[in-house]
């Protein structure tokens, strides 16, 4: 999975740490809703989270970043490890056999059970990327697409649970992580920002109170420009104050 444009192969399985993988819940924001990036091997029926393996001489965080680059072309994104999924039954052998046989990974026969049918731990990461900047790296073997967060199909293994856990994790930290900066374009409206919060929290927020709260945090500043949407009153555009944003990240300033 380290070859963005080439065929997926595990013939080089010896280069990876055995029994451990990582899965990324990659969030984007587009047309008023949160999206999650999923991929599917063309020969296999189920969608799955973009994942990867870890080179024997590679830090886990680096492996996650590499996975993200290979699917979106984006480097230096907001990426956080949030949980290790380690139950024995989180993957099923029959499901993995199915996946493997259909996909025909470049494994010699004797390596199949040693590698792909073994028990796997998976390290969960979540990422925030700017939807418009991601260049999805689909190819003949692998299809990469955004899914609306409210419209996720049944996924491979425990990947639905991984998404759930990512969201509950983000939710519990929503007061201390400045969400929005990585998800939104440079210029955005407060309604867009509010929808992100509402989606994560799973509840409606009062428009006016939200506005006051966000502005009082001081991380975003109003621009002179306005956003014009057909059929509505034009709304003010805002931008993140990059310096204050970085301070908030570094010093853990509560932002909401």
Partner DNA sequence: ACAAAAGTGTTAAGCGTACACCCATGG
Partner DNA sequence: CCATGGGTGTACGCTTAACACTTTTGT
**By C-alpha distance, which of 111, 106, 104, 113 is closest to 44?**
104
In contact, 9 and 142? CB cutoff 8 Å:
no
Selection from 138, 27, 19 nearest residue 78 by Cα: 27
| E strand or H helix that includes residue 5 | none
Is 222 an interacting residue with respect to a second copy (CB under 8 A)? Answer: no
**Contact call for residue 161 and a second copy (CB under 8 A):** no
What is the distance between the alpha carbons of residues 82 and 168, in angstroms, rounded to a whole number? 10
Residue 161 or 174: the one with the smaller Cβ distance to DNA is 174
- Among a second copy, DNA, none, residue 209 binds (CB under 5-8 Å by kind): DNA
Q: Which stretch binds a second copy (CB under 8 A): 49-57, 108-116, 127-135, 155-163?
A: 49-57
Query: Which of a second copy, DNA, none interacts with 9 (beta carbon under 5 to 8 A by kind)?
Result: none
Q: Which of residues 83-102 bind a second copy (CB under 8 A)?
A: 83-84, 86-88
Residue 114 or 206: the one with the smaller Cβ distance to a second copy is 114
State which of positions 230-249 bind DNA (CB under 7 A).
Answer: 230-236
Asked whether position 57 contacts a second copy by CB under 8 A, the answer is: yes
Closest C-alpha to 20, from 52, 46, 44, 50: 52
User: Binder to a second copy among 3, 59, 186, 247 (CB under 8 A)?
Assistant: 59
Within 13 Å, how many C-alpha atoms sit on residue 223's CB side?
15
Please spell the DSSP secondary structure of 203-215, one letter per residue.
S---HHHHHHHHH
Look at residue 206 and give the partner it binds from DNA, a second copy, none, a contact being a CB closer than 5 to 8 Å depending on partner kind: DNA
Q: What are phi and psi of 27, to 5 degrees?
A: -95, 140
CA distance linking residue 222 with residue 172, whole number of Å: 28
Hey, which residues between 92 and 131 contact DNA (CB under 7 A)? none
147 is a site residue for a second copy (CB under 8 A):
no
Residues that bind DNA (CB under 7 A): 189-191, 206-209, 211-213, 216, 229-236
């Amino acid at each position: 999975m380290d070859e963005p444009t080439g065929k997926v192969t595990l013939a080089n399985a010896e280069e990876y740490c055995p029994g451990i993988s990582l899965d990324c819940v990659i969030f984007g924001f587009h047309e008023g809703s949160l999206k999650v990036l999923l991929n599917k091997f063309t020969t296999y029926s189920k969608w799955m989270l973009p994942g990867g393996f870890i080179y024997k001489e590679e830090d886990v965080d680096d492996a996650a970043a590499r996975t993200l680059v290979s699917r979106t072309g984006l480097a230096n994104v907001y990426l956080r490890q949030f949980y290790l999924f380690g139950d024995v039954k989180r993957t099923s052998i029959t499901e993995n056999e199915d996946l493997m046989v259909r996909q025909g990974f470049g494994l010699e026969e004797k390596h199949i059970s040693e590698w792909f049918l073994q028990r796997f731990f998976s390290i969960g990461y979540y990422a925030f990327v700017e939807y418009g900047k991601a260049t999805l790296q689909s190819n003949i073997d692998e299809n990469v697409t955004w899914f609306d967060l409210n419209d996720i199909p049944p996924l491979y293994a425990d990947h639905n649970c991984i998404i759930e856990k990512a969201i509950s994790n983000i939710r519990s930290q929503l007061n201390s992580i400045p969400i929005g900066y990585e998800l939104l374009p440079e210029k955005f409206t407060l309604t867009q920002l509010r929808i992100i919060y509402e989606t994560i929290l799973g509840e409606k927020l009062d428009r006016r109170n939200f506005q006051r709260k966000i502005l009082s945090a001081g991380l975003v500043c109003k621009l002179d420009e306005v956003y014009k949407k057909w059929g509505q009153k034009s709304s003010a555009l805002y931008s993140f104050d990059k310096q204050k944003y970085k301070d908030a990240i570094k010093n853990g300033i509560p932002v909401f």
